[in-house]
Amino acid sequence: MFERILTISGKPGLYQLLSQGRNMFIVESVDATKKRMPVYNSDKVVMLDDIAIYTDTEEVPLREVFAKIYEKENAVLSFDTKSATPEELVEYFESVMPDYDRERVYLTHIKKIYSWYNILVANGVVDFAKSEDAAEESAE
């Protein structure tokens, strides 16, 4: 399921890909509203599977970052990300990803990661491990 979750530039939240047409996608919001809408080719759409976080040595897929947060929290984040200070947000991220690239990963990225993580966990999407079938397909 994680492979079908999208972020759409200019629209808040996360969306699940339902179907794909010639010039558009039909998506459904991951949150409780489950609102469906069309997304056209002119919109900037990115699959969460394609997003990675820069570290000092490599790029870590976003799903691995989510898995590390889930390992630590086992639920939604234990602190309010909107009222937390920037220092608290960065400190928590450093505890999860100690070797992230501080020059290329900004506070806005960290806030978005926390927001997406909370949306996914609150809506029951907690399987952050890459499925073996998908791994085998990409290896071929």
Dump pLDDT digits (tens) for 42-100: 899 999 999 999 999 999 999 999 999 999 888 888 888 888 999 999 999 999 999 99
Handedness of CA 73, 71, 27, 52 (dihedral sign): positive
Per-residue confidence (pLDDT) for residue 134, from 0 to 100: 45
Q: pLDDT category, 105, cuts 50, 70, 90?
A: very high
Domains of the chain: 2-48 (2.30.30.730), 51-122 (1.10.10.1650)
Asked if the model's pLDDT at residue 139 lies above 60, the reply is no
CB 6 within 8 A of CB 24: no
